[in-house]
């Protein structure tokens, strides 16, 4: 348990310990993920939480280095689930810092090598157009990462190139004619400029248009697609997939004497044998990842996706690309300005969290939990199985943050033990984070990194800077609009697939089975309150239960609770629970009886002036008096379905029940704290499926030395529940 804060009141609410002596991570990622650090070798648990640095989904070259290192390990994970999860992590995620340059595959300054038999040689058109999405990453400083969209027209027959390059902040257009030695360029909103001499601006910005032996050169068709001409070594990795297309994957080692750089490049080439009517010569490049090393300089990483590679016909090149200055910059931008993801105010998800050391050699901690966030009710909860002290049993624990009541509950669903303290004492704040803050979307300098496949889902990838030197950055994968539309969601739906925090001491990977607008649920925790101060209330409504309420029970519960809170002044929705509507025994066709409980004093806190009552001071006695007065006067009513149904209370019907027999079925709600046994069983089954899927993916990846889009896990989601 968290020790008392000196100078502040801290009381144990019950003799039991809900957490069984084990730490639990609060649902706020930016608060307590650091509690896992003590599980990593050589890392002490920090006194205060710290952020973690970002990483991105590894490209194939990084996986090679990680796989090589993993094979050398003498010890393995401690359980089969940890083992398969570890291997899955090793092959699907990577550390750009530790694995950007693979010395085992290509040594520095390699000038000799043998090209293996059976390697794939891509096919290049002499004249083509190309759409390209490029992610340029400086490995030692991920804040320099940027995404560029490029539209390229290349003609070997005319010795001309037109390139339109866009970033979120700038646009650069250039026309290069090798025969006439012309370079015409335009940057941003500037006027079109004809560059003279060596075309330095063009060469500096786009890497060609420079002079060689006194002549401007545009490079070969393959050079324009970053395919090296000085190959020293090639390794084939067999069949793979990229963007849903079957490919052959291979790696190349090359060396550039002019810049003294050694490169390892991983290519995906379309496999024409897998597609009927495909010309066997069209083994075109679909993507590549290049990792560069220069002695004494930063490592570099470049990722390219060629999304539209098309041969240009002679009829399209009658006059070449002789655009002239009057037509400078007429090629339209391909870059689309994007807004950062916008999560809604209510959502839930099953989350699998993996904590690893910074080299990503092995998964040290695996945590699974069900989390819910409700900004309207100002509640946030998490449910997780935690080991008890002897490690032989599991204890299912709910942690609930109640911002209206200012309370933090730790409730054991397994044994009913409950601890309560103030949010200020537990979290050092009583203000709920916004959805943007919760996901870390309020961090500085968001950078869009393009579309990546993650668990067979095409995702928009965002990178955010952290708030301090130890809080590096966050990467968030969200499903693309196109994928959402195919699945029947709104295109602007917020659907997180994975979130990564990467720090100096540990990495944290969170994989989600997400559900937006999960339905209205308020956890009911009667064990946290004194039983002799509970009100067992009963009211009569002038309406037919079967016609008006039965099919809209969730909405009815929300409106009924909201009315009682408004009338009594009770702030926390947690204090009004066990709400059940049933047909009236005296007039079932005309009247409905509503049973409910109002929770009063917390167990262990008899003093009305205690800090736990500061934000919600209304007593049960005061609440009962107010409700009775309003019901007797006939002033209570509320509406359902957008005010189309008006519900009136029967005058004088409010009663405090002396017999609790009618409430026995209500108590079962408190046992699961708002989640049915079926829900929790579903969560457990889902987690088992995840573990098994990870195992299958790991074995497949191990055999293939690959992390293609065909492997991984994908959790199906049910249709959304109706908004309360």
What's the pLDDT score for residue 196? 64
CA–CA gap between residue 219 and residue 228 (Å, rounded): 11
640 DSSP β-pair partners: 645
Closest CA to 491 of 294, 339, 334: 339
CA torsion 455→459→461→466, rounded to 10°? -60
Is the torsion defined by CA of 626, 628, 629, 634 positive or negative? Answer: positive
Tokens standing for 74?
A: 């003498």
Joined together, the tokens standing for residue 194 give 């004809």
DSSP class of 339: P
What DSSP designation does 591 have?
A: -
Show the CA angle centred on residue 723, arms to residues 720 and 724, nearest 5°: 135
Question: Out of 3.40.50, 3.30.70, 3.30.390, 2.60.40, which CATH number does the structure's domain 526-671 have?
Answer: 3.30.70
Q: Which candidate, 163, 207, 160, places its Cα nearest to that of 179?
A: 160
Where in the chain are the domains?
127-327, 526-671
- Closest to 452 (Cα-Cα) out of 137, 225, 86, 105: 137
Pick from 64, 55, 61: nearest CA to 702? 64
From the list 127, 124, 173, the residue with the least C-alpha distance to 149 is 173
Q: Is 246 left (phi over 0), alpha (psi -120 to 50) or beta?
A: beta
Convert 453-462 to b/e letters by CB count within 10 Å (16 or more is b): bbbbbbbbbb
pLDDT digit string, tens, across residues 121-150: 889 999 888 888 777 665 544 445 567 778
Q: What are phi and psi of 441, to 5 degrees?
A: -80, -5
Contact 579, 624 (CB under 8 A): no
Indicate the length of the chain as a whole number.
724
- The answer to whether 251 and 21 have CB atoms below 8 angstroms apart is no
CA dihedral of residues 126, 129, 133, 136 (deg, nearest 10):
50
Tokens of 379: 């509640």
Element of type H or E holding 289: strand 285-293
Nearest to 498 by CA among 439, 442, 447, 444: 439
Could you tell me which of 355, 104, 320, 112 has the C-alpha nearest to residue 218?
A: 320
Distance from C-alpha of 97 to C-alpha of 88, rounded to nearest angstrom: 19
Which conformational region is residue 394 in: left (phi greater than 0), alpha (psi within -120 to 50 degrees), or beta? beta
Residue 702 in tokens: 């191990």
The 8-class DSSP code of residue 532 comes to G
User: What is the distance between the terminal CA atoms of the chain, rounded to a whole angstrom?
Assistant: 36
Report yes or no: 218 and 180 within 8 Å, Cβ to Cβ: no
Residue 291's CB is within 10 A of a number of other CB atoms, namely 28
Under the phi-then-psi rule, with left for phi > 0, alpha for psi from -120 to 50, and beta for the rest, what region is 255?
beta
Q: Does 526-671 match 127-327 at the fold level?
A: no
Predicted local distance difference test score (pLDDT) of residue 631:
92
CATH architecture, domain defined by 127-327:
Clam (2.50)
Two tokens, residue 294: 């220069």
Single out the residue of 307, 289, 280, 261 nearest to residue 120, CA to CA: 280
Q: Match 């709600």 to its residue by tokens.
A: 669
Could you tell me if residue 626 is left (phi over 0), alpha (psi between -120 and 50 degrees) or otherwise beta?
alpha
The β-bridge partners of 425 are: none
Q: Quick one: how many helices (H) and strands (E) in the chain?
A: 13, 30
Residues of the chain with pLDDT under 50: 1-15, 21-103, 112-113, 140-143, 324-326, 330-336, 663-681, 683-684, 686-691, 693-724
In 23-173, alpha helices (H): 29-32, 60-72, 80-92, 96-99
Write the DSSP string, 646-692: EEEBPTT--EE-S--GGGHHHHHHHHTTT--HHHHHHHHHHHHHHHH
């Amino acid at each position: 348990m968290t020790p008392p804060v000196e100078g502040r009141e801290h009381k144990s609410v019950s003799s039991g310990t809900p957490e069984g002596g084990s730490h639990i991570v609060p649902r706020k990622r930016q608060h307590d993920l650091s509690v896992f650090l003590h599980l990593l070798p050589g890392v002490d648990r920090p006194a205060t939480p710290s952020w973690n640095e970002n990483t991105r989904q590894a490209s194939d070259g990084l996986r090679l280095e990680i796989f090589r290192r993993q094979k050398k390990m003498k010890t393995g994970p401690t359980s089969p689930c940890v083992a398969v999860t570890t291997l899955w992590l090793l092959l699907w995620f990577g550390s750009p810092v530790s694995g950007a340059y693979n010395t085992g595959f290509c040594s520095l300054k390699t000038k000799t090598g043998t090209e293996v038999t059976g390697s794939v040689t891509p096919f290049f058109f002499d004249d083509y157009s190309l759409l390209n999405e490029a992610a340029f990453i400086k490995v030692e400083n991920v804040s320099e990462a940027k995404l560029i969209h490029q539209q390229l027209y290349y003609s070997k027959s005319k010795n001309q190139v037109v390139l339109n390059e866009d970033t979120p902040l700038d646009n650069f257009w250039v026309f290069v004619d090798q025969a006439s030695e012309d370079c015409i360029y335009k940057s941003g909103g500037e006027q079109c400029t004809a560059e003279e001499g060596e075309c330095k601006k063009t060469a500096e910005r786009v890497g060609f248009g420079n002079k060689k032996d006194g002549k401007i050169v545009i490079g070969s068709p393959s050079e324009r697609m970053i395919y090296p001409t000085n190959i020293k070594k090639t390794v084939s990795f067999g069949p793979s997939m990229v963007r849903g297309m079957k490919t052959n994957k291979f790696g190349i080692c090359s060396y550039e004497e002019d810049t003294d750089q050694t490169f390892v490049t991983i290519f995906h080439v379309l496999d024409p044998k897998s597609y009927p009517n495909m010309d066997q010569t069209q083994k075109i490049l679909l993507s590549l990842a290049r990792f560069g090393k220069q002695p004494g300089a930063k490592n570099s990483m470049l990722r390219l996706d060629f999304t539209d590679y098309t041969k240009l016909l002679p009829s399209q090149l009658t006059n070449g690309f002789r655009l002239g200055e009057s037509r400078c910059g007429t090629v339209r931008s391909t870059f689309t300005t994007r807004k950062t993801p916008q999560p809604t105010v209510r959502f839930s998800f099953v989350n699998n969290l993996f904590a690893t050391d910074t080299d990503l050699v092995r998964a040290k901690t695996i945590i699974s939990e069900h989390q819910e966030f409700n900004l309207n009710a100002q509640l946030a909860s998490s449910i997780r199985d935690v080991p008890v002290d002897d490690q032989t049993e599991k204890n299912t624990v709910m942690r609930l943050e109640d911002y209206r009541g200012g309370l933090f509950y730790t409730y054991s669903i397994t044994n009913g033990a409950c601890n309560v303290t103030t949010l200020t004492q537990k979290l050092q704040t009583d203000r709920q984070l916004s959805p943007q803050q919760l996901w870390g979307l309020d961090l500085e300098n968001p950078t869009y990194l393009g579309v990546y496949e993650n668990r067979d889902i095409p995702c928009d990838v965002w990178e955010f800077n952290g708030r301090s030197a130890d809080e590096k950055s966050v990467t968030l994968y969200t499903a693309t609009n196109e994928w959402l539309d195919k699945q029947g969601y709104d295109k602007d739906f917020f659907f997180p697939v994975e979130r990564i925090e990467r720090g100096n001491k540990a990495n944290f990977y969170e994989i989600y089975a997400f559900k937006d607008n999960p339905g209205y649920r308020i956890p009911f925790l009667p064990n946290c309150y004194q039983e002799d101060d509970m009100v067992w209330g009963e009211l009569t409504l002038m309406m037919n239960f079967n016609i008006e309420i039965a099919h809209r029970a969730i909405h009815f519960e929300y409106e009924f609770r909201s009315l009682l809170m408004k009338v009594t002044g009770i702030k926390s929705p947690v204090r009004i629970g066990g709400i059940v509507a049933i047909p009236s025994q005296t007039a079932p066709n005309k009247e409905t009886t509503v049973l409910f409980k109002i929770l009063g004093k917390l167990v262990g806190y008899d003093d009305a002036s205690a800090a736990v009552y500061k934000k919600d001071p209304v007593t049960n006695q005061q609440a009962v008096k107010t409700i009775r007065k309003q019901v007797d006067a006939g002033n209570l009513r509320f509406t359902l379905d957008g005010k189309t149904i008006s519900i009136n209370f029967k005058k004088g019907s409010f009663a405090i029940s002396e017999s609790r027999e009618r409430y026995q079925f209500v108590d079962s709600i408190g046992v699961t704290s708002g989640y049915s046994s079926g829900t929790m069983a579903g969560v457990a089954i889902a987690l088992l499926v995840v573990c098994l899927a990870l195992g299958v993916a790991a074995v497949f990846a191990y055999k293939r030395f690959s992390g293609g889009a065909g492997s991984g896990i994908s959790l199906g989601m049910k249709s959304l529940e109706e908004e309360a």
